[in-house]
Amino acid sequence: MSKRLPADKRKRVIIRSAIQVFAETNYRVAKVSEIAKLSGVTEPIVYKHFDSKEDLFAEVLRKMGEKTLILFNSYRNEASGSTKEVLTYIIKTYLKSLNKYEKELQIFYQAISEIHIAKIKAVLLDCYESYANFIYDVIHDKEDGEERDIEYHDVSWEVIGFLIHLSTLYILQFYNEERAFEMCEKFVDKLDIKQG
């Protein structure tokens, strides 16, 4: 780096570099020294911000989860029509973004293989729970602060499972957008949700 960055900006640079290194290798073989080099800092500087590679990986997952929720909310704000039309728009727009966020998607799939690490499992569960809560709010047109029905998972988790399924096909390069959109329309049409 040509100049000293404030700590928060340096941390963001390290996280961006970690995304690149984890996606190109994987969590197990990625070296903190590679992340440091790509970030333009020394290894001790990385450890000044993160206690371990595990902590860095967990933070990467958390940041990616937050970014995904921001994207989902922006898709919701762009959408119009019935509940099913809004949900269809969100899913299709997410699917269109897969090529832009392929590295992040690969890292999420790596994380699933590391769920024996409590911190990584906890972050993954938080991410997926936040996605399910978002879908619940779309389906039930819930206002901020309202309590969610204990059974929200019935349809909300079904939607999350569908997105995971299509994301898996994408990662395996067994994905066709036109076919995925057809599947999306049929899937949403069959969901047991109110048309509002």
Q: For the segment 140-164, what is each residue's pLDDT rounded down to a tens digit? A: 876 555 666 655 568 899 999 999 9
Global model pTM greater than 0.75: yes
Mean pLDDT of the chain, nearest integer: 90
180 and 91, same domain (yes or no): yes
Q: CB of 139 within 8 A of CB of 83?
A: yes
Kindly state whether residues 93 and 161 are assigned to the same domain: yes
The reply to whether 46 and 78 lie within a common domain is no
9-35 pLDDT per residue, tens: 999 999 999 999 999 998 999 999 999
Q: How many domains does the chain have?
A: 2
Answer yes or no: do 41 and 99 share one domain. Answer: no
**Residue partners of 183: CB distance under 8 A and separation at least 6:** 166
Residue 196 lies in a domain: no
- Which structural domain range is residue 44 located in? 1-50
| HEC string for 90-152 | HHHHHHHCCCCCHHHHHHHHHHHCCCCCHHHHHHHHHHHHHHHHHHHHHHHCCCCCCCCCCCC
CA distance 84 to 19: 34
